Structure 1
Amino acid sequence: MPGKELLSPCMDCREAEAVFLIRSRHLCRNCYVRFVGHKVLRRTEQYRLRRSAPGTPRGKILLPLSCGLASSVLLHMVYTQMKEQRSRPHAPEGFDLHVLIIDPSSISSSSPPLGEALELLQQRFPLASFTQLPLHAAFELVPDLGGVLPRYAGEGFNKDDASLSPKEHLDAFRASISSNTSAADVDSVLVTRLIVAFAKRNECFGIIWGDSDDRLAAKTLASVAKGRGSSLTWQVSDGMTPFGLEFRFPLRDLFTAELQNYADCFAELTDIIKPDAPLSDNILTKNLSIDQLMLRYVSSQGAKYPGVMSNVTRTANKLQASQLSTNGTRCALCDTLICNSKGVYNQALHDTSPSQLCYACDRSRPGLS
């Protein structure tokens, strides 16, 4: 008996009805998942094939999870690869996966706490290790931050109130920053410092980030606008960072819409993903941070011209680290190396700088931004 004739056969297997269109190819569900997963596999293969010395534990990588679309999809993809590898006899040791969740309610008061999400994640992904921390845990993992923030904030921040808890201390500091762009920039710095410190404490050799192609394009444009262009060689690119850890972006070849299609294929992701709250069209542009403005621009234009946004990310990925000398001085806030032709930050040109701050952190200080 002849098989059922397909109205729109999958262009790969020719055995099932095509349900997705990706890169001008009509694919069925299984072929779509395989196509998208392969793009991530290519960028994590060095971890998958990693062989540990006899008698030593597997290497560890860290995945920061926001429970948003991209990081949740990345967790599912990497976990699937890890599970398949461990099911094969005589396969390389591979890696152990640590997942760090920073409580969203500790970053934004408008974000609800995750509630039972952590327990659900542990049930769905039992081979991974999960940890949830508030943002103010950065004071514990990065002890020097407690002394840096008052000097950065200036007179608008009461640094002498010893009765404040770490959370209250952080809330008071953030309240002293009136600029939306500076507040978002400092939040990003604190989140990165917390994640890096956690990775080092747990002896992870690398961090994999759940940033899609359009998210990386928005970050590229925002970083340049904020004066953080020198950090693009590790902030949006694969490779070693000033923190002594590898940063990898396995989703860099995939768009948000493609990740959403992938998530729709797996029911177990439905109750894990917390959709990002859309920016209201009623918000004045001047009230948006640079990060929000660039994300809005990329989201709207990326749907029309996806190739243009891809070129932004690909171009940034070709950049090389500065060859300017450094004496090892690091920014007191973001912990990146401070470089110029003399190897140190020229504070004579910035008398208001409270300590060794890089150009981007100095210009974002309250009263200067």
Structure 2
Amino acid sequence: MPSKELLDPCVDCRDVEAILTLRRRRLCKDCYIKFVSHKVFKRMEKYRLNRGLAKDTPCKLLFPFSYGLSSSVLLHMLHRQLETQHAKTHGTPGFDLHALIIEPSTISPSNPQHNEGFELAQKSFPLCSFTQVPFHSIFDLVPDIKETMSQFAGQGFVDNPSLSDAERLNAFRSCIPTSTSKADVDQILMNRLVVAFAKKIDCQTVIWGDSDSRLAAKTLASVAKGRGSSVIWQVSDGMSPFGLEFNFPLRDLFTAELRDYASFFPELISLIVPDEPRSENTLTKNLSIDELMMRYVLTQGEKYPGVMLNVTRTANKLDVSQMPSNVSHCTFCGAPLMNELGSRQSQFCYACARSRPSTSS
């Protein structure tokens, strides 16, 4: 008996009805998952095969995990690669993945602690290691950050050693006046925490869970904030100024595609903390540049995905090896100081100087 004729066959396997359109191609569930996962698989090839790395031990990778859509999907994909890696009796050592979570409620009181999410992640991804730390652990991981914060904040801020680390960090963050500067400073501090933790446990690379949409927004926001020189390592694969490689395996995938992928796996739906719905009544002046650029990319990216993809592809062509090796670095964010602020010597880069309380109000 001839098989039943399909009304809308998957263009890849031709055996099953298609359920989703991916880049103008109608695919079934399995082919959709295969296509999306392969994008990440190719980006992790270096670590899977230990190319240019030690042949007798796994490459140790740090993965900052936020419970968001992108990082949750990437964790799921990487864990499936680990399952395949562990199933092989012979072959290269591959990689070990250590996930670091900055406890959400210590970043913002409006965020839930999500302890159940931490337990669920450990249960769902047993081949990964997990560590959860509070935001104020930056004081332990980066001992000189207290002095740097005081210098950055200027005379309007007085650090009180009698306060707890959490209170001291909140006092510093509260002295930053504008929403753009607050978001900028928080991101810098979290990056420094992640880098310090990676070095502490001897990781060679940080794997970031930024989608193409997020990288496009970060590129545009960085340029708008005066951080154009840091785009070379904030959105591009390669060596960072901190002596660690940065890698962005989701750079070829859009946020909408990750959302479709997550819908196929109940464990991801339970784990992901959804973003707060965007209010159309929020005044533009109350949004940070990062938020504005993310809104722009998400709305325009649906209409012109190729344009957003070109933004990140262009940024990824930047070559970190072309950066001078003998320059000083910003004491706050780590970016190279390239003739900052004219002829005056400065310990802060141009963008950090703009975010300081004395200049950003």
1:153-199 CA distance string (max 9 Å, x none)? 1233222x221111000000011111111000000000100000011
Distance in 2 (CA, whole Å) between partners of 1:305 and 1:165 is 48
TM-score (ref. length: structure 2): 0.95
* Cα-Cα RMSD: 1.7
1:101-145 CA distance string (max 9 Å, x none)? 111111112111112111111111111000011111111100110
Distance in 1 (CA, whole Å) between partners of 2:118 and 2:111 is 16
Q: Please point out which of 328, 347, 355 is paired with 1:356.
A: 347
C-alpha deviation, 1:346, in angstroms = 5.4
C-alpha deviation, 1:61, in angstroms = 0.4
Q: Pairwise mapping of residues 216-231 of structure 1 onto structure 2 (< 5 A)?
A: 216-231=215-230
C-alpha deviation, 1:360, in angstroms = 1.1
What amino acid sits opposite 1:174 in the alignment? R
Which segment drifts farther, 297-306 or 319-328? Answer: 319-328
C-alpha deviation, 1:23, in angstroms = 1.2
CA contact 1:227–1:360 (8 Å) conserved in 2:
yes
- Structure-2 residue corresponding to 1:310: 309
TM-score (ref. length: structure 1): 0.93
- Structure-2 residue corresponding to 1:117: 117
C-alpha deviation, 1:330, in angstroms = 2.0
- Structure-1 residue corresponding to 2:232: 233
C-alpha deviation, 1:53, in angstroms = 4.8
Q: Pairwise mapping of residues 64-213 of structure 1 onto structure 2 (< 5 A)?
A: 64-159=64-159, 161-213=160-212
Distance in 1 (CA, whole Å) between partners of 2:203 and 2:323 is 29
What amino acid sits opposite 2:124 in the alignment? R
Distance 1:53 1:176, change over 3 A: closer
The answer on 1:60 being equivalent to 2:64 is: no
Distance in 1 (CA, whole Å) between partners of 2:288 and 2:202 is 34
Distance in 2 (CA, whole Å) between partners of 1:93 and 1:348 is 51
- Structure-2 residue corresponding to 1:300: 299
Distance 1:177 1:42, change over 3 A: same
CA contact 2:97–2:129 (8 Å) conserved in 1:
yes
Distance in 1 (CA, whole Å) between partners of 2:166 and 2:343 is 35
CA contact 1:20–1:29 (8 Å) conserved in 2:
yes
1:8-51 CA distance string (max 9 Å, x none)? 11111111110111011111111110000001111001111117
SS of the aligned residue for 1:131 comes to: strand
1:254-277 CA distance string (max 9 Å, x none)? 111100110011111111000111
1:210-260 CA distance string (max 9 Å, x none)? 111111000000000111100111100111111111111111111111001
1:295-340 CA distance string (max 9 Å, x none)? 1111111111111111111111112348564645221111233233
Distance in 2 (CA, whole Å) between partners of 1:349 and 1:357 is 11
CA contact 1:230–1:322 (8 Å) conserved in 2:
no
Paired-residue identity, % = 59
Distance 1:53 1:248, change over 3 A: closer
Distance 1:207 1:109, change over 3 A: same
The answer on 1:18 being equivalent to 2:18 is: yes
Distance in 2 (CA, whole Å) between partners of 1:106 and 1:237 is 29
SS of the aligned residue for 2:271 comes to: coil
Question: Where in structure 2 are there 5+ consecutive unaligned residues?
Answer: none
CA contact 1:97–1:129 (8 Å) conserved in 2:
yes
SS of the aligned residue for 2:62 comes to: strand
CA contact 2:341–2:350 (8 Å) conserved in 1:
no
SS of the aligned residue for 1:116 comes to: helix
What amino acid sits opposite 2:302 in the alignment? A
What amino acid sits opposite 1:155 in the alignment? Q
Question: Where in structure 1 are there 5+ consecutive unaligned residues?
Answer: none
CA contact 1:325–1:339 (8 Å) conserved in 2:
no
Distance 1:305 1:347, change over 3 A: closer
C-alpha deviation, 1:91, in angstroms = 2.2
Q: What is the total number of aligned residue pairs between the two structures?
A: 359
